[in-house]
Structure 1
Amino acid sequence: MTFDAILEEVGSLGPFQVVLGVLMLSPRIVLPCNFLLNNFIAAVPPHRCDVSRRNPSWNSSRDLEGVAAGAAAAVPLGDDGEPLTCRMFAEPSWRLAGNGSGATPTTECRHGWVYDNSTFSSTIVTEWDLVCDWKHLPQTTNTIFFVGLMLGSLLFGVLSDNYGRKPSLLASYVLSIVFGLASAFADSYVLFTALRFFCGAGLAGISLISFTLCAEWVATTHRASMCVICSLAWSLGNMLLAALAYLVNAWRPLIVTVTAPLALAVLTWWWVPESARWLLANGKAEEAHLYLDKCARANNRPKFLSAVKLEALSRLEMSDKNKKFSLLHLFKTPKLRQISLVTGIAWYGTAVTYYGISLNLDGFGLNVYLTQFVYAAIEVPAKLLIYVLVDRIGRRACLAGTMVLTGTCIGINILVPRALWLVRSAVAILGKGLSEASFTTIYLYTIELFPTVLRQKGLGFANVMSRIGVSVAPLVLLLEDSWTLLPQVVLCAGATSCGLAALALPETLDRRLPETIGDVEEPPGRSEGQEEVPLETNDAK
């Protein structure tokens, strides 16, 4: 008997799994609130030089609307007729015919900047004047945060495979909450960026382990259901971020607000079960028996496991249980090497496309809060669509199809004139939903491709490739300084090519999770696999 068969007997999707999903709810809601937080805490409001100090009679308000006409005379106009954001006249010069720049000498802002606080009461940009010569720093903060996620993916991939899912999950909770809250009280940009780096490393562990833990507690028939349900927490957190950012529009309180739910996660960690599948893969049959017994009782099936002898369960332990594995084992055998490389490419393409769309909230015809909410809301029907399709047309077709269609949507918007903003908005929303559909698929798919003994390391490597894509996404958006359409061209090409590359992966529909490297190199069929192990029981049945 295989482990999946035992899991079906003790209940593969019952109250036990529902409680596990609820326990993972608060930490998974925190993820999008932090991953996309930069859209709000690092927003750059309209600004121009503060010239109120030049003449005490001028309005000294830090509100753009309050700058008096006398102050306006000290700020040159650009070609579009709007005040320049980074230059001021060296000496006051009254404009003639609406243009006072002419040959009058200008200089950089000498006394700081005036910001429009009508949308954001404060951001890290207004806190530390990250504009003009320092305008690259807000996006740099985002990139450094995602580099922390990348390194955290490697760290927690190794830790959870070597020491277990549950203790590694607690470590990720503590790391995230400590550095997340500390970043809200940073008194310098450098300190803030360093704290966000370590917060990202901790959040990477939550992202990896929570999803894998849920998947390993369900059998093949319910795996897609569990993974899609878990991923809905992301969409919920994504929509919640729009509401929280609107209600708490100062950056320090907003960070505290989106980090606070992790306190609940720490308190409920005691009820999180260890993965019985991981325990068996590491020769811990007695502890696995204990958790399976809890699962059977919670699912109202106590008779089955109480009748199973521990010795019989011990024979289900995987053949690789006494071996130690490193990241290098992902590339030592032919099929596993191909899987690792192709999933890495697919994760990179999915991430750079998803975040390339998600981090670009301007030019949508709506304010940033509503744009964030609409982008998040479209993810729900996208996930429900994937729930239907992954068990009908397979994981490979879903992943490749959604990525190619995302690239197609981006390509269409390259050709549609900007005057047709309604059409562009509809296509952009559709592309955002498809990009999320590819993310949901690739999480489930990756878990099914790697064996239990290397699953977290494989998912960790894939997440590293993803975080490289995420780190690149803000830089791709900066390419519009060279050519307005260049970011869309790059995202379109990336999504399409990486989607086609995913066709090189093996299909995993209706196949049990591989336990060993041998299961990957010689994958069992739907009913093949490990040698059947008769379960000795205490009754006469």
Structure 2
Amino acid sequence: MGFEVLLEHVGVLGRFQILQLLCFFIIILIAYPHILLENFTAAVPEHRCWVRILDNGTLSDNGTGLLSQEDLLRISIPLDSNLRPEKCRRFVHPQWQLLHLNSTFWNLSEAKTEPCVDGWVYDKSYFHSTIVTEWDLVCEYQSSKSIVQVVFMIGSLLGGLIFGHLSDSTGQMLLGGLAFFFRSWTTLQLILSIPLLVCCVLSRYGQYVWPLTLMKGEIEA
């Protein structure tokens, strides 16, 4: 009985094929999320410059100790065009006069600002930690964040194009390394042949023994 006829008798889609598909599914399920992983590991939370009177944890530094967090933020961080706290700049000196002025009409050019020379403060409501907060990949360093995804995609491209060829080369190098450690030809032959023998036996078992076992079970049933 030919193998094709045997498959038609026991069924083309059997337990062996289902287990193969299940193994492939598990591998892909683990590997594929890495493509989209940066959406979470490199998420950019809300952030602003670190300022001493607001973020050092002592109330005495604000003079009276009676100012709220909103007031301290107002005198420490300038507003952007949308009247929201700037993410990349802070006042060089606290602007106390803003406590008595409408910030909408305050001319920001009258107050000197500077970059976030002491680092940033991040909103941890959604993400406790990302690579952005770990290495401060914001403001002038935000372009560095895209390097992670670029490197991953380049690696995937190279893997599809050339690593098949390199595996044939990586095999030749492996052979050279084994030949260096195992100088006897019989030992070297066994080292290289036994794994192939094991794979061959398992492969033949999956293609012939398993279908025969299934067919035997159906006949007995």
Taking structure 2 as the reference length, what is the TM-score of the superposition?
0.65
SS of alignment partner, residue 297 of structure 1: helix
Aligned length: 177
Distance in 2 (CA, whole Å) between partners of 1:35 and 1:7 is 41
Q: Give the deviation of 1:71 after TM superposition.
A: 3.4
Q: Which residue does the alignment assign to 2:187?
A: none
- Segments of 5+ residues of structure 2 without an aligned counterpart are 63-67, 172-194, 216-221
Query: 1:67–1:28: structure 2 CA closer, same or farther, 3 Å change rule?
Result: farther
> How far is 1:8 from its partner?
4.4
1:119 correspondence with 2:92: no
Equivalent of residue 140 in structure 2, options 123, 127, 133: 133
Q: Distance in 1 between matches of 2:60 and 2:33?
A: 41
Task: Return closer, same or farther for 1:16/1:163 CA change in 2, 3 Å cut-off.
Answer: farther
Pick from 79, 102, 113 the counterpart of residue 97 of structure 1.
Answer: 102
Aligned residue for 1:82?
A: 84
Deviation, 1:148, is 1.6
Contact 1:77–1:84 at 8 Å: present in 2 too? Answer: yes
- Measured on the aligned residues, the alpha-carbon RMSD in Å equals 3.8
Give the deviation of 1:293 after TM superposition.
4.6
Confirm whether residue 28 of structure 1 aligns to residue 35 of structure 2.
Answer: no
CA distance in 1 between counterparts of 2:163 and 2:6 reads 26
Distance 1:296 1:45, change over 3 A: same
The yes-or-no answer on 1:72 pairing with 2:67 is: no
Task: Spell out, residue by residue over 1:74-94, the C-alpha distance to the aligned partner (whole angstroms, 9 max, x if none).
Answer: 100011110110011111114
Structure 2: how far apart are the matches of 1:146 and 1:50? 34
SS of the equivalent of 1:48 reads: strand
Q: Distance in 2 between matches of 1:70 and 1:80?
A: 19
1:158 deviation in Å?
3.1
Unpaired runs of at least 5, structure 1: 61-65, 165-269, 275-286, 304-541
Q: 1:6/1:108 Cα in 2 relative to 1: closer, same or farther (>3 Å)? A: farther
Give the 3 Å change call, closer, same or farther, for CA 104–302 of structure 1 in structure 2.
closer
Give 1:154's aligned residue.
161
Is the CA contact (8 Å cut-off) linking 2:53 and 2:72 kept in structure 1? Answer: no
Structure 1 residue 142 and structure 2 residue 144: aligned? no
SS of residue matched to 1:107: strand
Alpha-carbon shift at residue 134 of structure 1 (Å) = 0.4
- CA distance in 2 between counterparts of 1:79 and 1:38 reads 29
Q: Cα gap change, 1:36/1:160 in structure 2, threshold over 3 Å: closer, same or farther?
A: same
Matched, 1:41 2:41: yes
- Counterpart for residue 247 of structure 1: none
CA contact 1:52–1:58 (8 Å) conserved in 2? no
The alignment status of 1:18 with 2:18, answered yes or no, reads yes
Describe the superposition over 1:294-320 as per-residue Cα deviations: whole angstroms up to 9, x where unpaired. 2233234678xxxxxxxxxxxxxxxxx
User: Do structure 1's residue 298 and structure 2's residue 210 form an aligned pair?
Assistant: yes
Write the distance in 1 (CA, Å) between the matches of 2:27 and 2:202.
Answer: 26
For residues 69 and 31 of structure 1, the distance between their equivalents in structure 2, rounded to whole angstroms, comes to: 48
The alpha-carbon distance between structure 1 residues 140 and 117, as it changes in their structure 2 partners (threshold 3 A), is same
C-alpha separation in 2, matches of 1:26 and 1:59: 56
Alpha-carbon offset, residue 27 of structure 1: 1.8
Deviation sequence 1:423-474 (CA, Å, 0-9, x none)? xxxxxxxxxxxxxxxxxxxxxxxxxxxxxxxxxxxxxxxxxxxxxxxxxxxx
Q: In the TM superposition, what whole-angstrom CA distance separates every residue of 1:322-360 from its partner, at most 9, and x where no partner exists?
A: xxxxxxxxxxxxxxxxxxxxxxxxxxxxxxxxxxxxxxx
Structure 2 residue identity aligned to 1:45:
P
**Counterpart for residue 359 of structure 1:** none
Q: How does 1:460-499 map to 2 (within 5 A)?
A: none
Q: Name the structure 2 match of 1:282.
A: none
Q: Is the partner of 1:114 in helix, strand or coil?
A: strand
Name the larger-Rg structure: 2
Q: Aligned with 1:88: secondary structure?
A: strand
- What does residue 174 of structure 2 align with? none
For the 8 Å contact 2:92–2:112, the answer to whether it is kept is yes
